[in-house]
Structure 1
Amino acid sequence: MKLLIEEYQYNVADVENVLDGLFTLQDVEQKVSVSYVGYYYNPHPKVRDIVFILPKVLIDEQGLVFGEYEPKDLIHLDNAKMDEKHRKFLYEFAVWIHRAIIVYNDSHEKNEIVLHRQIQDEGKGSHKKKSNTLLDVILLLIRFNKENQQFFTFILKNLHSGFNKINWGKTIARTTAIVQDSSPTYLNPVNKKRQVNFDEELIVIFFSILQYISDTYGFRSNINFGFKLITGAKFKRYLDGFGRTRLRQIKYKYFSDTAVKLWDLCYAFFDKTYKIRVNTSQSEYLLVKSFHIVFEAMIDELIGDTDIPHGLKEQDDGKLVDHFYTYDGLLIDDKADDDIYYIGDSKYYKIGNSLGKESIYKQRTYARNVIQWNLDIWLNGKPHKPNMADPFERIQLFDEVTEGYNVIPNFFISASIDKKTLSYEDYTEPHPNQPPVSRQFKNRLYDRDTLLLSHYDVNFLFVLALYARNNAGAKAAWRHSVRDKFRRAVQDMLKEKFEFYALAAHPDVDASAYFKAHFQETLGKTFRPYENQQLFSLALDREFPADNDRLLASLGENFYVVPVKLGEDPSDSLSVERSRKGDIESPGGMGKFLTCLVRKEEIGEDGRKNIAKLYQLFYNHEAEGATYVMLNMPGGDISEAKYLLPLIDNTIDGYYDIERISFGTRTKVTKDGQSIPNYPTLRIKIGAYHPLERRCTEGIVPRMANQIWSYAQLQNVMAKSDGYGDFDEEETDVNEPTERYSYIDDDFIE
C-alpha cells in the first residue's frame, strides 16, 4: 500500500512512479503535491498497488503525521517503520474515507468533484497486488455476496438433503419395539447423523464478516440466509487471531473455484498481509478533487437545516453560507418560541491552524445579510409579510421599543484529530484561539453591528464515521447534542464578557417613551426577549464598569432593576423588587392623563345629526394645535395632567400633549331648566400626538371620561382590555364620575 497526504509537498523523485496516471504539477523547486483525496490503483509495473491519498487533517502544524512521522517516510507504508497501532489506524481510516466519499456521491448525484472508475476482477490472474488493504477486502467481500447468491443456495440444498430421514436398518437392529395389536412401534428411531460440514462453517464465517462490516463501517450487505452468526466477543476472538487459525485448519476441504475464492477472501480479511490474486492490468480510482466540499457537506448534513428560504443560506449577493439552522435563543431558556438563527462556516485546515482575516470578514457579511433579510420581511413586508408558521420567518430580530437586535451566534467549525489517542469518540471543544467580538460601538451587545464569533474543533474521525455510517437516528441525536453544546458555549462566553440585568418600568414610566428620550444611553444595551413584553433585558460589557454604574443609577430611578443569570426568567425577581421598592414618583415619569369623551355626532342648526368636527379631528389624529373646550370639570388636581386621552368610539389608541390649560366660563342649564351663569370650563391647547403600543377597545366605556388617570391606571385599563394580567387593583382602579354620562354637556373645539 502506498500512502500520500493531500496537498503535502513531496520531492518529485520520491513519488515519481507512485503518481503515474494522476494529473499533478510540480513547482520550480521540484516539489509536487496532490489535491485529491481517495484511493487509486496504480498498474505501473513498478508499483501495481493501491495508492491512498488521505486528508491533510492528519498533518499538524509541524508537518508531521501523528506528530511523529514525516509524510515522505510513509509513502511505502508496508515497509515504513511505524507503530502497529498507527499502521492499523491508517488501514481503517482509509475505509472510512472511502465510505464517506460514496455517501457524498450518492447524495449529490450531479456533483463535479468525485472521480470514479471501478475495474477490478478478482481471480487467479497472472498478477498479484503487492498488498491488499482492508478496503480491498471489504469491497471484494461485498461484491462476492452480490454475485454468488446461487452458490449459497446450492450449498444449503445439499446441506439439508436427507437430513432427519430415519435409518430403518439401524433402528430395527439397535432399538426395541413395542408391539401393540400386532403392530411394532419404535419410540427412539435412528436418524441419519449429520456430519461436520465445512461448507456451512465457511459460509457462517463469511456472513459474520459481512455483519461486522455493516455494523462497524456502514457497508450494507443483504444476508438472506438464516444462519446463527458469530458476533460480539466470539467474533472479536476471530479478529484477534482465531479466524486465521480456524481457516487454515479447514483450508483443504474445498475444491470448487467459488469455495476456494470465498476462503481466500475470508482469510484475507483476517490476515491483511495475505495476497489476493487479481487481474490488474487497468487502473481504478475513487477520488475527490476538493475534499473541503465533502467536509462542508458532512458537517451541514449533521447540524444544518434543510428547506431554508432563499436569502438566508443562498444570499442575494451570491454568497453561500456553509451551515444555517434555527435553534433555541441565547437569552431565555424556557421560552417555547424563542428560536434564533445560527450561522456556521466550516474550515478544512491542517490540525491547529487558526482563522484568517478573510474568514472573519466573510462571516460578518453573512450575518448582515441575514439581518437585512429579516428586516425586509418584518419592517418592509418584502417580498411578503412574515409567515408565523414558517420557522425562519417568524423570528423577529429587531425590537421596535428598545431598537435593539437579538443576538445571532456565528461560529466556525474546523476538523481536529487527537494524535495521541486517535479516538473515534465524540468531542467538540472550543479552539484555543478564539476570534474577537466584532463591533462598531463599545458596550452594545444588542446592536446590529455587534457580531459574536466562536470557533470550535470537532473530532474529524467521529464526524467522518457518523457521516459514513449514514444512520439517520444517530445523526439526529448528535445534531441535537452539538446544537445544544454550541448554544451553551456561546452563553458561557456571554456570561464571561457581560453582566445581565432585567428591567421593569415604574408604574408612572412609559418604557417606550423613556427609551426614545434616552436613546443614546440605552441603544444596543436593551432588548425584549421575554414572554412578558413589559420586561427588558439589559446587557453591560464588563470592560466599562464606570459607564455601567452611571447607567444603572439612572435606570434605577425609573425602572425596577435586578441582576439576572443569562437564560433565566426574571419575573419572580422583579416581583420581589417591586414589593420591596413600592410605587414611587420617577424623574422620568409620565405625568397624568386627562380623559375626554369624543362624540361622533352633533345636532346641526337644521336639526339634523352630522359627523362632529371634534370627532373627525380626533379620529384622524389631527387635533394638534386646536383648543379643546371641556365643559364639565374633572375631579382631581388638574395641574397634574400632562396629556389629553380621548375616548373615541369606545376606543383608546393614543394621547396628545397638553401645551396649556386655562379656565373659561359658560352658562350651564340644569336638568330642571335653570341657568347657572359663570360655570367654569377648561380650555386645553392640544400638542403633539403619541400613539399607544396597541389599540384598546374592550372595556372602554363613556363613563371613563372627565377623569385624571395616572400612567399605572392607563396600563391597568390597557391590560384588562387586551386580556393581560391585572395590576394592583387598589392602586390603579379607575373611578366613575359623580354625574351620569347622559347629563354631561358636549365638549367642543374652538
Structure 2
Amino acid sequence: MKILIEGEKYSLNTLLEVFDDPKFFIQEGMFGTINCVGYYHSFSKNELIYILPKVFIIEEKAFELSPQQLFDLDLKISFKHDVNYAWVRQLLIYFYNSLAEFRNRYRNTVIIESSQSFELNSNLGLTEYSYLDLVLSFVNFYKKNKNTILYHHIEFISNQAKKAKWEKTIRTSLPILISNNSPLYIDIRNKQKKVNDEEELLSYFFSILNHFKIEHDLPVTIDKSYKLIRGSQFEKLQRTGLTKLRKIKHRYFADTLKRMYQLCELYFSKTDLSSPKRKNEEFISVRNYNIVFEDMIDKLFTDKIYDSKSINGISIDKLKNNKDGKIIDHIFEHKSIIDTDNIFYIGDSKYYKSDGVAGKLSTYKQFTYAKNVIQFNIDLLNKSKAYDNIRYRDDITEGYNISPNFFIYGHLNDEKNFDEPLLKKYKTVKKSFHFKDRIFDRDTLFVLQYRINFLFVLKSYTSINFNKINSFRNDTKNHFRNKFLKYFNSVDNCGFEFYEKDFENDAIDIFVNKNFRLLNGKAIKIKENTLLIAIHKEDRQKELLDNLIKDFETKLLG
C-alpha cells in the first residue's frame, strides 16, 4: 500500500513502478507531479495506491513526513507495529467511501466553472465491486454474522457425535472450552461420516478472509475450527476457485450462506487469471478536487430536499445558480444579524493546503456572489414577490440588511479525530464598501473565515446518521450567527456602535424623512416602530449624529 499527495512532485521511476498508466501524473523531466485525487489498485503488481488531497500538507509535510518519505514508507510494516498509525486505515476507508459517494452522486455530470473543467474518471461500473469494496464487505459480513456461522458449524459437528469413539476422540484431538469450562470437541471420531455441504463454502470464505487479513493486517480473529487453504494452494484456488464454486452453487438456501457464496464469487471473478473480463487495474480519480470538497461541505449544511423546495415559486437552487453564470457553493436561510427576520447566509468552500488562505480574487468573487443574491431578492421585491420571512431592504430608511458571508477551509488539526467539527474562526474579517461609515448600504459587505476539521467532513459525507448531521447543521448556523454578532458588538472590531429607539405611530417616518440625508446607509427599521442606527467611530458627521440620537439607547445586536 502506498500513499501519494495531490500536487506533489515525485521521482518518475518510482511512479512508473506503481502505476500501469501515467494518467495520474504529469511528467516534468525526471519527475512526475500528481494531478488528481483518488484510489488505484493494480492486480498485476498487487498494489493499492491512495492519492490523498493536498489538505493533508502542513508546512510542506504530510503526517510529519515529506511526501517522498511517505511514499517510500513500508506502510504494511509500520502501520502494523506502530499504534500511532492505527488511524490511517480508518482514514483510507473514509477517503475511499467519499470518492465512491461522489461518483454515485455525479456519475454523469460534467461541471464547468469559468475555464476550469471538472473531470471524474473511473473504470468501475455503478454496480461493480472494487477490490477494496470486497475487502470491506468480507470483514463487515464476518463481524456481523460470525456467531451465526460458527453456531451452524458447531451444530453440524455436534451431530457427528452419534456412536462416537470418545476414547479415540479425547486422545487425538483438543477441545474448545465454552461456558463453565466445558469441553467441546470439534473433531469427533466415529464410524459414520456425513459429508458437510457447508464445509466447502466455509473453507473458501474463511480462506479468502484469512488472505485479506494477512495481506492488509486486518483486525479480525478467525476461529481455529475452520479449515483454511493457505500458501501455494490458495494461489491455485484463486485461479480455479470460480469453477469449483459454481459446482456447489445450488446447495445453499439460507440467506447467510447465499451471501457468503456471492462474496466468494465476486472475489474469484476478480482473481481468475483465465477470465477474459478480468481487469488489470481499478481506479477512481478526480481532478479539481475542490468540487468534491464543496459537495462534502454542502451536504453537511443543506440537503437536496431543501435545495429543491419552492417558496412562492422560488427555489434555493435559483439563488445558487446566478444569471451571470456564477455558482454559489453554499447558501442557507437563517436568523438575521439585526432583527427577527431571516436572511441568506452565503458561503464559499476554500480547498487549499491546511495553512492556505483565500486571496484577492476569491474575496472579490465572494462579494460578487453576495451582491447577486441581494439583487435577486430586490428584483423579487420590485415584482411584489419575496421569500417568506426574508427582508433585504427597508422601505422607510432604504437601508439594507447585513448580508452574512463566510469562507470555510478544510484543515487537518488532529489526524486521529474524525468525530468533532473543530469549527474555528480563522484569520481576519474581509470587508468591502463604498462608504466606510454606512453599514446598511448594499455595497457594505463582510466575510468571516472559518476552519473545519477535514476528517470530520470526510466521515460525515458518507454517514447515514441524519440526526447527527441535522444537529451539526443547526449548531453551525447558530455558531456562524454568534460569531457575526460578536464581531459587530465590538466597536474595536467593526468600528460601529449601535443605537435603538421605539417611536409612536408615524413618528418614525417623520424622523427618518427629516434626517434622511444624515441617516442614509446608517439606519434601518428593525421592528414596526423601532429604528436602529449604526454610527462609525470615524464618521465625519459623528457630532451631528450624536446630537440626533441623544435620547436613543445603546444597543447590542443579538
> Structure 1 length as normaliser, TM-score?
0.54
* Aligned with residue 492 of structure 1, among 475, 486, 495: 486
Residue 65 of structure 1 pairs with residue 56 of structure 2 = no
Please name the residue that 2:95 is paired with: 97
Residue 254 of structure 1 pairs with residue 227 of structure 2 = yes
Please name the residue that 1:42 is paired with: 42
> Deviation of residue 117 (structure 1)?
3.4
Please name the residue that 1:17 is paired with: 17
Q: Which amino acid aligns with 2:307?
A: T
> Deviation of residue 39 (structure 1)?
1.3
CA distance in 2, matches of 1:196, 1:419: 49
- What's the Cα RMSD here? 4.1
* Aligned with residue 413 of structure 1, among 408, 411, 414: 408
Q: Which deviations, in whole Å up to 9, do the C-alpha atoms of 1:591-617 show, x marking residues without a partner? A: xxxxxxxxxxxxxxxxxxxxxxxxxxx
Is the Cα contact below 8 Å between 2:374 and 2:392 reproduced in 1?
A: yes
Is the Cα contact below 8 Å between 2:508 and 2:531 reproduced in 1?
A: no
Distance 1:39 1:409, change over 3 A: same
Residues 604-643 of structure 1 aligned to structure 2 (within 5 Å)? none
Distance 1:152 1:87, change over 3 A: closer
CA distance in 2, matches of 1:80, 1:154: 30
> Deviation of residue 141 (structure 1)?
3.1
Distance 1:158 1:516, change over 3 A: same
CA distance in 1, matches of 2:229, 2:83: 37
Is the Cα contact below 8 Å between 1:94 and 1:135 reproduced in 2?
A: no
CA distance in 1, matches of 2:272, 2:6: 25
Is the Cα contact below 8 Å between 2:307 and 2:317 reproduced in 1?
A: no
Is the Cα contact below 8 Å between 1:403 and 1:527 reproduced in 2?
A: yes
Distance 1:88 1:160, change over 3 A: closer
Distance 1:197 1:374, change over 3 A: farther
Residues 116-195 of structure 1 aligned to structure 2 (within 5 Å)? 116-118=122-124, 137-141=135-139, 159-160=154-155, 195=184
Q: Which amino acid aligns with 1:406?
A: N
CA distance in 2, matches of 1:448, 1:442: 12
Please name the residue that 1:563 is paired with: 554
CA distance in 1, matches of 2:218, 2:389: 61
Please name the residue that 1:520 is paired with: 517
Q: Which deviations, in whole Å up to 9, do the C-alpha atoms of 1:287-311 show, x marking residues without a partner? A: 2233221111111111134123454
* Aligned with residue 71 of structure 2, among 44, 52, 75: 75
Q: Which amino acid aligns with 1:354?
A: V
> Deviation of residue 143 (structure 1)?
7.5
* Aligned with residue 511 of structure 1, among 508, 517, 521: 508
> Deviation of residue 104 (structure 1)?
2.2
> Deviation of residue 328 (structure 1)?
1.1
Q: Which amino acid aligns with 1:346?
A: S
Distance 1:160 1:327, change over 3 A: same
Residue 459 of structure 1 pairs with residue 453 of structure 2 = yes
CA distance in 2, matches of 1:370, 1:421: 39
Match of 2:337, SS?
A: coil
Residues 701-716 of structure 1 aligned to structure 2 (within 5 Å)? none
Is the Cα contact below 8 Å between 1:466 and 1:474 reproduced in 2?
A: no
Please name the residue that 2:548 is paired with: 554
Distance 1:299 1:48, change over 3 A: same
Please name the residue that 1:357 is paired with: 360
Distance 1:242 1:31, change over 3 A: closer
Residue 449 of structure 1 pairs with residue 452 of structure 2 = no
Please name the residue that 1:31 is paired with: 31
Distance 1:396 1:255, change over 3 A: closer
Is the Cα contact below 8 Å between 2:504 and 2:529 reproduced in 1?
A: no
CA distance in 2, matches of 1:526, 1:399: 9
Residue 534 of structure 1 pairs with residue 529 of structure 2 = yes
Match of 1:33, SS?
A: strand
CA distance in 2, matches of 1:453, 1:420: 28
Distance 1:78 1:251, change over 3 A: farther
CA distance in 1, matches of 2:399, 2:373: 16
CA distance in 1, matches of 2:547, 2:334: 35
Q: Which amino acid aligns with 1:306?
A: D
Distance 1:11 1:255, change over 3 A: closer
Residues 663-702 of structure 1 aligned to structure 2 (within 5 Å)? none
Match of 1:452, SS?
A: strand
Match of 1:342, SS?
A: strand
> Deviation of residue 142 (structure 1)?
5.0
> Deviation of residue 52 (structure 1)?
1.0
CA distance in 2, matches of 1:162, 1:71: 53
Q: Which deviations, in whole Å up to 9, do the C-alpha atoms of 1:142-181 show, x marking residues without a partner? A: 58899xx9x99897666557989xx9xxxxxxxxxxxxxx
Q: Which deviations, in whole Å up to 9, do the C-alpha atoms of 1:85-130 show, x marking residues without a partner? A: 55333322111111112222333342354433359xxxxxxxxxxx
Distance 1:139 1:39, change over 3 A: farther
Distance 1:359 1:393, change over 3 A: farther
Q: Which deviations, in whole Å up to 9, do the C-alpha atoms of 1:461-480 show, x marking residues without a partner? A: 11111112232221111111
Residues 318-397 of structure 1 aligned to structure 2 (within 5 Å)? 318-332=325-339, 335=340, 338-381=341-384, 385-386=385-386, 392-397=387-392
Provide the aligned length of Structure 1 versus Structure 2. Answer: 451
CA distance in 2, matches of 1:451, 1:323: 17
Distance 1:49 1:154, change over 3 A: closer
Distance 1:139 1:7, change over 3 A: farther
Counting aligned pairs with the same residue, the percent is 28
Is the Cα contact below 8 Å between 2:404 and 2:447 reproduced in 1?
A: yes
Match of 1:480, SS?
A: helix
CA distance in 1, matches of 2:439, 2:72: 55
> Structure 2 length as normaliser, TM-score?
0.71
Q: Which runs of 5+ in 1 are unaligned?
A: 120-132, 168-192, 211-240, 265-275, 387-391, 568-750
Is the Cα contact below 8 Å between 2:437 and 2:539 reproduced in 1?
A: no
> Deviation of residue 378 (structure 1)?
1.1
Is the Cα contact below 8 Å between 1:14 and 1:72 reproduced in 2?
A: no
Is the Cα contact below 8 Å between 2:157 and 2:186 reproduced in 1?
A: no
> Deviation of residue 253 (structure 1)?
4.3
CA distance in 1, matches of 2:301, 2:226: 52
Residue 3 of structure 1 pairs with residue 3 of structure 2 = yes
Say which structure is richer in helix: 2
Q: Which amino acid aligns with 2:271?
A: N
> Deviation of residue 491 (structure 1)?
1.0
Distance 1:242 1:142, change over 3 A: closer
Residue 312 of structure 1 pairs with residue 309 of structure 2 = no
Is the Cα contact below 8 Å between 1:374 and 1:393 reproduced in 2?
A: no
Is the Cα contact below 8 Å between 1:526 and 1:537 reproduced in 2?
A: yes
Q: Which runs of 5+ in 2 are unaligned?
A: 111-118, 126-130, 163-181, 188-197, 210-216, 239-266, 274-279, 309-314
CA distance in 1, matches of 2:185, 2:541: 88
Q: Which amino acid aligns with 2:71?
A: I
CA distance in 2, matches of 1:8, 1:243: 32
Q: Which deviations, in whole Å up to 9, do the C-alpha atoms of 1:572-629 show, x marking residues without a partner? A: xxxxxxxxxxxxxxxxxxxxxxxxxxxxxxxxxxxxxxxxxxxxxxxxxxxxxxxxxx
* Aligned with residue 295 of structure 1, among 277, 293, 296: 293
Residues 730-745 of structure 1 aligned to structure 2 (within 5 Å)? none
Larger Rg: 1
Distance 1:14 1:547, change over 3 A: farther
Q: Which amino acid aligns with 1:491?
A: L
Residue 115 of structure 1 pairs with residue 121 of structure 2 = yes
> Deviation of residue 538 (structure 1)?
1.3
Is the Cα contact below 8 Å between 1:342 and 1:409 reproduced in 2?
A: yes
Distance 1:296 1:472, change over 3 A: same
> Deviation of residue 422 (structure 1)?
5.1
CA distance in 2, matches of 1:406, 1:88: 50
Distance 1:87 1:77, change over 3 A: farther
Match of 1:89, SS?
A: helix
